[in-house]
Structure 1
Amino acid sequence: MVIAVLLISLLLLIASGTPVAFALLLASLLAILIDGGVPGLVMLHSMLGGMNSFPLLSIPFFVFAGALMNSAGITQRIFDFTNALVGWLRGGLGHVNVGASIFFAGMSGAAVADAGGLGAIEVKAMRDQGYDAGFAVGLTAASSTIGPIIPPSLPLIIYAVMSSSSIGKLFAAGVIPGLLMALSLMLMVAWYAKKRRYPKDHGFSVSRCASTFKRAFLSLMTPVLIIGGILFGLFTATEAAIAASAYALCLGGVVYRTLNVKTLLKVSIETIETTSIIMLIIGAAAVFSWVLTTQHITTDFTQWMLAFTDNKVTILLLMTLILFIVGCFMETIAAITILTPVLLPIAVSLGIDPLHFGVMMVLNLMIGLLTPPVGMVLYVLSRVTDVPFETCARATLPFLVPLLIVLMLVTFIPALTTWLPSVLYP
């Protein structure tokens, strides 16, 4: 009875447009009241306990660093350098789009930040050069999903907290899948460029590469600072987030002098708002997960799944399907906090490495950001490019193909995620 009330009320609340955090809290509260044997204060303790985690401190600082990068003109420098580097290829700005996302991924760790920051620059540049608006928007949406896979990654931090995994190892596990995503999208761009006869945007120039690299050098050092500091043990992932924020603040305020008090205040308010939303979702999901655990839903689901089939391939496909469907309807962070306690025990029982499962989960949910009805990346791009949401959704569909291929590779070839962590963390 309690289980039915919990799940049905959650679905109804989400379907009615209730924000995910409040839907989780209300569904959990209703289940607790019906159960009758649980004091109301337990809900508050569970919520506070879910948010009381030291690694979660990295979230506001990575959000702040990404917002500073967007506001200080750093993204434009990265775009210009990437344009000089690969813009000479046929369909050059398409390749630039993907390449810039790789560089920006090492700074923000969020798909929405990539879409909102680089997205407007990339789509405008491509449309000005005569590229089809649908191609520009679809590629920009797809390439933005690289951000949460290549470190640093906010979703991987959330997964690390929920699964008690090493953030550093998870960051390392995301590097190869992230590069595979970029390669698959660039192959897609090459195919489109040949089919539609897109021209080369400019010739290759060593001097142009050198000059744009010089302008972007300090910006490009941001991922080196973050990843290098973690790998060499100079600081933890949380401290790396603080270092990234300080570095971005120094670049924008002292070196480039593109930040002023008004911009800094705006960035700070945006960071507070974004962090508050994320933390509220985490707290609400902690309560929901507690109810799932106390009602033995996670244990029962694990037993049911293993009784249904003990074939590893079949279970991986089922979990992939579950994650994909949930990603279409639920915000990423909420999905991770709810599904990790449910699906991870099944994965571990089958001998699947938690690092492998974590990257698979995040990659799957990232694809969900490109699909209606939630599709946060599509909403952001629609807003910053003035392209209708429906057009954004249709234009993104072809670019789901290379991402789904990479997802299958990551799902069924564990070495793509486990090899690099084993080398860097022997």
Structure 2
Amino acid sequence: MQSDLVNRAIHQPSNNERPPARRAGVWLQRRVLSIVNPLAAGLVLVEAILLLVGVIFRYVLNRPLSWTDELATMLFLWLAMMGAVLATARGEHMRLTFVLNRVSREQRALLETLGTVVVSGLLVVLIPLAITQSMDDWAVMTPALEWPDGIRVLAIAAGTALMLMVSLGKLQAEAKWTHIAISLVVVALGLASLWLGKPWLLGAGNFKLLLYFVGVVGICVALGVPIGFAFGAGTVAYLATATRVPLEIVIGRIDEGTAHLILLSIPLFVMLGLVMEVTGLARALVSFIALLLGHVRGGLSYVLLGAMLIVSGISGSKAADMAAVAPMLFPEIKKRGGDPGEMVAQLAAAGAMSETVPPSFVLIIIGSVTGVSIASLFTGGLLPALVGAIAVGIVCGRKAKTDDTSNVKRATFAEIRKAGLYALPALALPFVIRAAVVEGVATATEVSSIGIVYCLLVGSLLYRRMDWRKIYPMLVDTAALSGAILIIIGMATAMAWALTQSGFSTDLANTMMKMPGGAVGFMAVSILVFVVLGSLLEGVPAIVLFGPLLFPIARSIGIHEVHYAIVAVLSMGIGLFAPPFGVGFYAACAIGRVSPDDAMGKVWPYLGALSIALILVATIPWISTGFL
């Protein structure tokens, strides 16, 4: 599905009515889409097949293939970048339009053009850096396939070049030349001001962090620049004008942010959710749940919370969890008149509350960098997540008091039994997935491919609702949504690295160690710090940076390391899903296909409830350590 902007550019008016330059812009966008659509769809399909082949050879044939994970990782970066190109062409990158919606039509057109110019400028900077990085990595051979690693990094160069072509095509097709000229002047003046101030900025200390990572990023976000590109613009501007660090490091950090194989679970769980919808499994499952809880006010909200708790114990990735649950439940919630913004707010809160459910990727990282027992972290994370679920559930219940359920008929036992039998294959899917992980059949990344095959077989043989014509559009949608999420993660990783290299982390740790109040004061400050870090840095970079610094301090003043770890993860979870900077919040909006503007004001009551749950967990260590 194309964005309104692309539709206007392509369909209204017709090409014959457009000036040649505008027709060229439309042609350029179409040409890029004609190349990237099949390429991105093919990459999604190949990734799913690769992971499934790896499972079959390792578990069924007992002949593990050493190259499948390596090839999957290499192709994953190509999938992420081609998906980002699709999201650019379709206007599906996450961004705030609060300001744009409150200005005149002419002013909005100017600000849209300014935002596109900012994105284009960033891409112009990144393209040669990506080419250079790819050439440098060409001599490095991968262990199993013995292919040049530069092939993988070349994806960033190709992706940024194609995104630039799409952005220039949009400017040609949609923007006024006067608006383009004004935008170029504004961007040039801003960059010139920062460049001329470089001698002063080099010695400005932490003030320059506020200038770039709050000021520049904040202005870009307000202008409607997509969130990931706003992060990238702030990072590149900071490194170029306030440090002596070479800009090539940005490409390396983007690569690092999207190179984790666990992130491959995001597109595959997105695809799994779409397959469940196409094959009828989602409809059967939701219909059964609706019969059970449909007569209860807020019933589907409680189902959403429970589903996130269950799925979180499967994938370990919050974005993958949301991608698995949302496509299954949101259509029915919308059908019942649910507010899309409220749904995404609940999804974001559910993602934050389930951060400590094993096998949480963040818990694994904490254990690896701090020496805390991962088994103990997994045990200690269950009860705090339940406390968070109860807190969010209370808010859901209060908000549902005004729901009109007078026309909802309570199902009979016979109706529930019939729907339950029909939904049994769908109900079995979580158990199939969990069993595959627990029994060692597949990893958290690979298990989604098993789920996809399971859904296709059930949909074709049992439900007989499979429409194979929907496969190709589904693959394209999967790539576009995944690219919109992964570009934010990649750019956020680059921004996190820039913050760490500023010395900010060491200064913060030293300041926290000197805080009065002993263990209580240190824990209180830690909560505030991890909330902010979760919002700005995301969980993994924040833990890698601050874990080795803060955990020894916590141990020295008598705080149990598992208790401190759980509090840190819950705090970062709240920050991760708190707008305007929380990456998780925008991932929830992307997965729910809702504008951040519609959900931003509605997420705060849920985050407030989670904050109360966090304080409860922090003040009662037994909640985290009672079952160790």
TM-score by length of 1: 0.73
Answer with 1 or 2: which has the greater Rg: 2
Deviation at 1:56, TM superposition (A): 2.9
Aligned partner of 1:9: which letter?
Y
Instruction: Output aligned runs, 1:6-405, within 5 Å.
Output: 6-15=209-218, 16-17=220-221, 18-34=225-241, 37-88=244-295, 92-103=296-307, 106-107=310-311, 109-111=320-322, 114-115=325-326, 117-125=328-336, 127=337, 138=342, 141-142=345-346, 145-147=349-351, 149-150=353-354, 156-157=360-361, 160=364, 164=368, 175-188=382-395, 199=406, 201-203=408-410, 205-309=412-516, 311-322=518-529, 324=531, 335-345=538-548, 347-349=550-552, 350-351=554-555, 352-353=561-562, 355-357=565-567, 359-361=569-571, 363-365=573-575, 368=578, 376=586, 398-405=605-612
Render the CA deviation track for 1:13-58: whole Å, top value 9, x for unaligned: 3222233333333333334334665444343334323433333333
One-letter amino acid matched to 2:566: H
Give the gaps of 5 or more residues in structure 2: 1-200, 312-318, 556-560
The two structures, once aligned, show a CA RMSD in angstroms of 4.5
CA distance in 2 between counterparts of 1:167 and 1:284 reads 29
**Equivalent residue letter for 2:332:** I
SS at match of 1:32: helix
Amino acid at match of 2:258: M
Task: Name the CA shift for 1:182/1:70 in 2 (closer, same or farther; >3 Å).
Answer: farther
| Matched residue SS, 1:368 | coil
How far 1:408 sits from its partner (Å)? 2.7
Query: Residue 52 and residue 168 in structure 1: after superposition, are their counterparts in 2 closer, same or farther (change >3 A)?
Result: farther
Offset, 1:302: 0.9
Aligned equivalents of 2:357, 2:482: Cα separation in 1: 14
SS of residue matched to 1:235? coil
Note closer, same or farther for the CA distance 1:62–1:375 as it changes in structure 2 (3 Å cut): closer
Percent pairwise identity: 21
Moved more, 305-314 or 209-218: 305-314
Q: Identify unmatched segments of 5+ residues in structure 1.
A: 128-132
Q: Name which structure has the greater RCO, CA cutoff 8 Å, separation 6+.
A: 1
Q: Which whole-Å deviations, capped at 9, do the CAs of 1:252-301 have from their partners, x for residues lacking one?
A: 45543434334222222222223333333333333333333333321221
Query: Structure 1 residues 42 and 363 mapped into 2: Cα distance closer, same or farther (>3 Å)?
Result: closer
Query: Quick one: distance in 2 between partners of 1:227 and 1:174?
Result: 18
Alpha carbons of 1:70 and 1:345: their partners in 2 closer, same or farther (altered >3 Å)? farther
Q: 1:253 to 1:377 in 2, by over 3 A?
A: same
Shift in CA distance, 238/394, structure 1 to aligned 2, threshold 3 Å: closer
Contact in 2 for aligned 1:188/1:402 (Cα 8 Å): yes
Q: Is the 8 A contact 2:308 2:354 kept in 1?
A: no
- How far off is 1:213 after superposition? 1.9
**Whole-angstrom CA distance in 2 between matches of 1:33 and 1:316:** 36
Amino acid at match of 1:360: L
